[in-house]
Structure 1
Amino acid sequence: MKVLAFSDLHMARNRAADLVAASADADLVIGAGDYCNMRQGLDEAMQMLSGVSAPLVLIPGNAESAEDLGKAVPEGVHVLHGTGMTVDGLRLFGLGYGVPPTPFGDWSCDLTEGEAAELLARCGGADILISHSPPKGHGDVTSQGMAVGSVAVRNAIERIQPRFTFCGHIHDSWGYRGSIGRTRIANLGPKVNWFEVAV
């Protein structure tokens, strides 16, 4: 299966246009959160992605709530947050929000490590884990050199061992590629990222 994945669109119209154009060649499109800015403009962001021509699965970032995203997505788009689904035999599980809580204030949708661990415990297995926040120590380094990823996400990866974990959130680490055990980790960023996933 040819998977197109991205994160942190943040209302970038030209980036959205690139993703929509690329989606014509995709079997599945995955968004790993942060489509708008500070919980503003989500409807507009979804309109920018409305031309995606492949099945579209999204998780919320810390810039939008799961409830707001569920209301804003076009018909047929799937939103995962502490939930999973199967697309053409490919098992997906999604966890949105910032983990651990960000310093950004009341607008940011965040989870504690404990809250994230509870939601991730629902996942018995997945081929792709989609997490807005990266796992601790992988794709999580800020411009100040701090590793601010999630311990709960890392623990879940070690337990589940999905084939891929897609994340975003930490802009300074966009483009990171690494691995935990057999799991390939990708901090995506708002660009066209291609992955071949056998079903």
Structure 2
Amino acid sequence: MRVHVVSDVHGAVEALAGAGEGADALVLLGDLILFLDYADHTRGIFPDLFGVEAADRIVELRTARRFEEARAFGRSLWEGVDRDSAMDAAVRKQYAEMFAVLPTPTYATYGNVDVPSLWPEYAGDGTTVLDGTTVELGGLVFGFVGGGLRTPMRTPYEIDDEAYAAKIAALGEVDVLCSHIPPAVPELCYDTVARRFERGSQALLDAIHAVRPRYSFFGHVHQPLTQRMRIGATECVNVGHFNATRVPYVLEW
């Protein structure tokens, strides 16, 4: 059995179209939408709407953790613009392109920048969306938990710690624990380029200790200090910033 695992696609449609080649299944751990590319400020919904100079400025403010200033700057840009309509159209366009190229079968969960309410409109028959549920592949039980935890960034799909932990608890015993965000281990949560800790989940870490899955797969941290580590019996792997690497993680058994 061969499964390819990707996360943080962020608009890389052409690469996503080939991500499942040679695999029995594709596992997708969220963040399909590209709102703003921190490495290339010309890409994404934000510069399309407001230009590259505005993108430069908001990246500068966010990187400096000046979140209130960043939000104020963002509000000033949206004045006179129908935000809901503009965002809905832009997100729908990206989802239409990306879901159309997903192979059959694909097993997917949400990232923190995704909009779960729109997924049923675009996920075809070959794509199974899972969040707080499991699926058996080749004799292994894969458990999926989507979204992120609350942060000052206020991305679209952030939830309370308690709700996130409840989804993990609902999985029960799994062989492969699939999430968008990492367990709360500093080395797995620190982004060396953004120079900040992203939020990891203590509930995920607790589940790794209690359930002892073979693997814990995740993304979210684009340039992690540590890409993989073993916690007890579990191999924890950041499957990569697919938008940058264009290469899926390969799991064979």
**Common topology (TM > 0.5):** yes
Q: Is contact 2:188-2:225 (8 Å) kept?
A: yes
Instruction: Give the residue type in structure 1 aligned to 2:121.
Output: K
Query: Which of 4, 19, 24 does residue 27 from structure 1 map onto?
Result: 24
Q: SS of 1:173's equivalent?
A: coil
For residues 248 and 226 of structure 2, the distance between their equivalents in structure 1, rounded to whole angstroms, comes to 9
Query: Which of 158, 164, 183 does residue 215 from structure 2 map onto?
Result: 164
Alpha-carbon deviation of 1:54? 4.2
Compute the TM-score of the two structures, normalised by the length of structure 2. 0.68
Deviation digits for residues 145-197 of structure 1 (CA, Å, limit 9, x no counterpart): 43631111111111121111111112122881112111111112213233334
Query: Which of 146, 150, 170 does residue 122 from structure 1 map onto?
Result: 170
Instruction: Give the residue type in structure 1 aligned to 2:127.
Output: V
- The higher radius of gyration belongs to 2
Residues 1-199 of structure 1 mapped to structure 2, 5 A cutoff? 1-16=1-16, 20-38=17-35, 40-42=90-92, 44-45=94-95, 47-99=97-149, 101-105=150-154, 107-137=155-185, 138-142=187-191, 143-146=194-197, 148-173=199-224, 176-188=227-239, 189-190=241-242, 191-198=246-253
Q: Is contact 1:32-1:59 (8 Å) kept?
A: yes
Q: Is contact 1:35-1:42 (8 Å) kept?
A: no
Q: Is contact 2:9-2:31 (8 Å) kept?
A: yes
For residues 161 and 15 of structure 2, the distance between their equivalents in structure 1, rounded to whole angstroms, comes to 31
Q: Is contact 1:174-1:187 (8 Å) kept?
A: no
Instruction: Give the residue type in structure 1 aligned to 2:3.
Output: V
Which structure 1 segments of 5+ residues have no match?
none
Q: Is contact 1:10-1:35 (8 Å) kept?
A: yes
For residues 228 and 212 of structure 2, the distance between their equivalents in structure 1, rounded to whole angstroms, comes to 16
Instruction: Give the residue type in structure 2 aligned to 1:11.
Output: G
For residues 13 and 225 of structure 2, the distance between their equivalents in structure 1, rounded to whole angstroms, comes to 18
Alpha-carbon deviation of 1:95? 0.6
Q: Is contact 2:181-2:200 (8 Å) kept?
A: yes
For residues 27 and 164 of structure 1, the distance between their equivalents in structure 2, rounded to whole angstroms, comes to 18
Which structure 2 segments of 5+ residues have no match?
36-86
For residues 195 and 126 of structure 1, the distance between their equivalents in structure 2, rounded to whole angstroms, comes to 19
Instruction: Give the residue type in structure 2 aligned to 1:196.
Output: L
Instruction: Give the residue type in structure 1 aligned to 2:216.
Output: T
Q: Which runs of 4+ in 1 moved over 4 A?
A: none
Compute the TM-score of the two structures, normalised by the length of structure 1. 0.85
Percent same amino acid among aligned pairs? 27
Q: What is the RMSD of the two structures over their aligned residues, measured on CA atoms?
A: 2.3
Q: Is contact 1:117-1:152 (8 Å) kept?
A: yes
